[in-house]
Amino acid sequence: MLRTHTCGELRIDNVNNEVTLSGWVQKIRDKGGLMWIDLRDRYGVTQLTLEEGRTPEQALKTARELGREFVISVKGKVIERYSKNDKIPTGEVEIDVQEINIQNASKTPPFVIEDETDGGEDLRMKYRYLDLRRGEVRRKLELRSKMANAVRNFLSDQEFIEVETPVLIKSTPEGARDFVVPSRMNPGEFYALPQSPQTFKQLLMVSGFDRYFQIVKCFRDEDLRADRQPEFTQIDCEMSFVERDDVLDTFEGMTRHLFKSIKGVELGEFPRMEYAEAMSKYGSDKPDVRFGMEFVELNDVAQNKGFNVFDQAELVVGICAKDCAEYTRKQLDALTDFVKRPQVGAKGLVYVKCNVDGTFKSSVDKFYSQEDLKVWAEKAGAEAGDLMLVLSGATNTTRKQMNELRLHMGKELGLRKKDEFKPLWVVNFPLLEWDEETERFHAMHHPFTSPLKEDIAKLDTAPGEVRANAYDLVINGVEIGGGSIRIHDKTTQALMFKHLGFTPEEAKAQFGFLMDAFEYGAPPHGGIAFGFDRLCAMFGGSDSIRDYIAFPKNTSGRDVMIDSPSVVNNAQLDELGIRLKED
């Protein structure tokens, strides 16, 4: 018997029980005749005590051979602690040790296995199995497991069927970011790993599965920005005979359920905002609505007053930072520096202080009278004591810059609170996106996204203005999920392909089997996919998805623990019908 109890289980009621515990030696204090050992497992820490004279010699001897992270099993009696530790649930008791068995020795670990560790990122990744031993890290993966369970139970209760779609699928010409997998049985041919199960879930709707979901690994072979992984996990969902609000209501329900059951947070109804409104009010399709500071367009009041910069601008836009009129020169300079950073890219920043005495002080006093500035302030809802910040230029660029500035100010002013969660549906994205490089339209989501019915007529006249029946779920400025109602009729699909510049033959080559399937009675359907790694990170209060993945890869796509990817031998490549390219 390796244990009768876990290290997190014993309480004052267990006093006098004879128990066996197993775990890792976390800490040893040896004060001459008295010894204490903290024994740790997944469930907690229990203190062991040994005393010369009282504890059997053999146990004392073994205890003195122990080092950090040794694995031991211990027999003894539960006794009440003299000085209790109210920080841990087992803190009222300790084990009076009778017998110790070393199950395994340990080398000294390369970093301290506690919540506060001395190990740097690289070292912890190389020894990820030791990093995972830290409670803080393990709890993140426990949270992930719990969340997956909550998602599955919620969706199963709503008649969703989880279906496993294939991992070895077909490589398509446009799959530039596909991982490909050579086949030994079919030398010279390749499978691809799915970037998402999109086509399969649509096929399942054609099959009449009605409500599908899957928590599923997806793959993308691309340069990894800070917080991307080559393999990532989606909560992938699709529903038949639904319109947009059916999908939104269902997954709003799921999200509310998760927040309530996992975090105890009531989210209430999720607002729904047009993409166009999000862009004009926040300059972003994923606005952080934990705080206001909405954009105010000032063209009509700021132009034609002789300030060339504004006069030539397509857009003059401001935000109002509450109670910031007292910002110092240095603080204002720092803001100007911020917007001038290459990542933001503005040429300069105009400020207007709404002084508490009712006067205004701006960086453009030369061009604008107190009266002018008062009009601005009224338009922006700025009151005495507030600070207005104004940017100008081409509409899209300026909005992006102002979005950065708004988020920056929100952070500076402590308005982006970690423990506050503000969800938002952003709906009616543009259907098509003009690509300067190829000089043609691309599908903003994918070519099966349905246009809004009322916009279909515009496909021929003003394709850039056509809105898609597509939606994103945004929480605290982070895109958590996105999806759309799909096209299910041939006529609209053909129109769509035409506008994407596909000949019918090209469309057939790329989407053949899905188009074939659609000939046999495709129902109206739509769906959504959530980034599960990111959702977990948000629930855990972290910005990094990597913490929520048991064995993540680094930004070069390498697993430094197992040292992968690696070379394979030529015999193996031979069998696959491939060879390395010589340089």
* Token digits of residue 428: 């009616």
Instruction: Please tell me whether 229 is known to bind a ligand.
Output: yes
Residue placing its CB nearer to its own copies in the complex, 241 or 434: 241
Q: How far is the CB of 339 from its own copies (least distance, A)?
A: 33
Q: How far is the CB of 304 from its own copies (least distance, A)?
A: 52
What is the C-alpha to C-alpha distance for residues 471 and 452, in angstroms, rounded to an integer?
12
Q: How far is the CB of 40 from its own copies (least distance, A)?
A: 8
- Describe the crossing of helices 244-258 and 135-157 by its angle, rounded to 10 degrees: 140
For residue 360, list its beta bridge partners. Answer: 354
Residue placing its CB nearer to its own copies in the complex, 123 or 309: 123
Residue placing its CB nearer to its own copies in the complex, 224 or 495: 224
Residue placing its CB nearer to its own copies in the complex, 109 or 385: 109
Residue placing its CB nearer to its own copies in the complex, 437 or 519: 519
Cβ–Cβ < 8 Å for 183, 189 = yes
Instruction: Please tell me whether 158 is known to bind a ligand.
Output: no
For residue 214, list its beta bridge partners. Answer: 236
Residue placing its CB nearer to its own copies in the complex, 97 or 316: 97
Cβ–Cβ < 8 Å for 305, 367 = yes
Decide: helix, strand or coil at residue 127: coil
Residue placing its CB nearer to its own copies in the complex, 225 or 418: 225
Instruction: Please tell me whether 222 is known to bind a ligand.
Output: yes
Buried (b) or exposed (e) across 371-385, using 16+ Cβ within 10 A? ebbbebbebbebeee
Instruction: Please tell me whether 541 is known to bind a ligand.
Output: no
Instruction: Please tell me whether 532 is known to bind a ligand.
Output: yes
Instruction: Please tell me whether 531 is known to bind a ligand.
Output: yes
Instruction: Please tell me whether 190 is known to bind a ligand.
Output: no
Q: How far is the CB of 192 from its own copies (least distance, A)?
A: 8
Residue placing its CB nearer to its own copies in the complex, 178 or 252: 178
Q: How far is the CB of 179 from its own copies (least distance, A)?
A: 5
**Contacts within 8 Å (CB) and 24+ apart, 108-117:** 108/67, 108/68, 108/69, 109/68, 109/69, 113/24, 113/26, 113/68, 113/69, 114/26
What is the C-alpha to C-alpha distance for residues 78 and 13, in angstroms, rounded to an integer?
9
Residue placing its CB nearer to its own copies in the complex, 173 or 358: 173
Sequence-distant (≥ 6) Cβ neighbours of residue 71 within 8 angstroms? 22, 23, 24, 25, 102, 103, 104, 106
What is the C-alpha to C-alpha distance for residues 239 and 526, in angstroms, rounded to an integer?
6
Q: How far is the CB of 326 from its own copies (least distance, A)?
A: 49
Instruction: Please tell me whether 479 is known to bind a ligand.
Output: yes
Residue placing its CB nearer to its own copies in the complex, 147 or 352: 147
Q: How far is the CB of 525 from its own copies (least distance, A)?
A: 10
Q: How far is the CB of 89 from its own copies (least distance, A)?
A: 16
Instruction: Please tell me whether 124 is known to bind a ligand.
Output: no
Q: How far is the CB of 395 from its own copies (least distance, A)?
A: 36
Q: How far is the CB of 355 from its own copies (least distance, A)?
A: 55
* Token digits of residue 226: 């800070």
What is the DSSP annotation of 415-460?
A: -S-TT---EEEEE--BSEEEETTTTEEEESS-TTBPBPGGGTTHHH
Cβ–Cβ < 8 Å for 81, 91 = yes
What's phi and psi for 470, nearest 5 deg?
-125, 155
Cα diameter, the chain: 95
Instruction: Please tell me whether 142 is known to bind a ligand.
Output: no
What is the C-alpha to C-alpha distance for residues 326 and 305, in angstroms, rounded to an integer?
27
Q: How far is the CB of 444 from its own copies (least distance, A)?
A: 24
What is the C-alpha to C-alpha distance for residues 216 and 320, in angstroms, rounded to an integer?
43
- 163-to-70, 331, 394, 519 alpha-carbon distances in Å: 43, 55, 47, 23
Using alpha carbons, select from 26, 36, 11, 44 the residue that is nearest to residue 97.
36
Residue placing its CB nearer to its own copies in the complex, 152 or 374: 152
What is the C-alpha to C-alpha distance for residues 313 and 296, in angstroms, rounded to an integer?
15
Binding residues for ATP: 220-222, 229, 479, 531-534
Binding residues: 174, 220-222, 229, 445, 479, 486, 531-534
Binding residues for L-aspartate: 174, 220, 445, 486
